[in-house]
Amino acid sequence: MAKPAIELDSFDLAILAILQKDNATPQRLVGEAVNLSAPAVQRRIRRLEEAGVIAANVAIVDPAKVGQAITIFVEVEVISETAELLDAAKREFSATPEVQQCYYVTGEADFILIIIVGTMADYEALTRRLFFSNNNVKKFRTFVAMDRVKVGLTVPLTQPGEA
């Protein structure tokens, strides 16, 4: 949104690939990996951050280790799809900490949520708050994750050819 789209050469892609896996990598090592000096790497990283290509630098916390062991998917179907009501739903979902991810999708469902809770009781309380007390929710389907096979936000990086 900030910048429409910036040019990404193979250096940028190589740097992104590294930082996507571990952004604590010293710039010196990144530089060696991509055949660039540390300052050059530093400048490129800054540019990528300003352009929004790098949206954030975060630590990934293992939910199970902090007592939030249950991952749940919810497909939500709404009654009315007016822009106003959709925005209200988006805002409410976004503001809920247990909602890790929320997508507005096509197809039989309207929203897909990924939720993290400590116990099923917590989830039940959450459904009451988010769905049952919301007049615009027609129905919702719950899937409980038995195994988090692969979890990440890593983006496949290919050539910079824009879509």
Partner DNA sequence: GGCCTCATGAAACAAACTTGCGCGTATTGG
Partner DNA sequence: CCAATACGCGCAAGTTTGTTTCATGAGGCC
- Give the binding site for DNA (CB under 7 A): 11, 26-28, 31, 35-40, 42-46
Size of the site for a copy of itself (CB under 8 A): 75
Contacted by 151, from DNA, a copy of itself, none: CB < 5 to 8 Å by type: a copy of itself
d(CA 134, CA 146): 28
Which of the stretches 34-42, 67-75, 76-84, 132-140 binds a copy of itself when contact is defined by CB under 8 A? 67-75
Assess 7 for contact with a copy of itself (CB under 8 A).
no
Residue with tokens 């936000």: 153
Contacted by 127, from DNA, a copy of itself, none: CB < 5 to 8 Å by type: none
CA angle, residues 117, 150, 26, in degrees to nearest 5: 100
Contacts 24+ apart (CB under 8 A), 105-111: 108/75, 108/77, 109/75, 109/76, 109/77, 109/141, 110/76, 110/77, 110/78, 110/81, 111/74, 111/75, 111/76, 111/78
Contacted by 43, from a copy of itself, DNA, none: CB < 5 to 8 Å by type: DNA
CB of 21 vs DNA, minimal distance in Å:
15
By CB under 8 A, the residues from 72 to 111 that bind a copy of itself are 73, 90, 93-94, 97-109, 111
Are the C-beta atoms of residues 134 and 76 closer than 8 Å to each other?
A: no
Contacted by 16, from DNA, a copy of itself, none: CB < 5 to 8 Å by type: a copy of itself
**Residue 22 to residues 17, 39, 95, 97, Cα–Cα distance (Å):** 9, 19, 28, 25
Contacted by 36, from DNA, a copy of itself, none: CB < 5 to 8 Å by type: DNA
By CB under 8 A, the residues from 114 to 133 that bind a copy of itself are 116, 118-119
Give the total residue count for the chain. Answer: 163
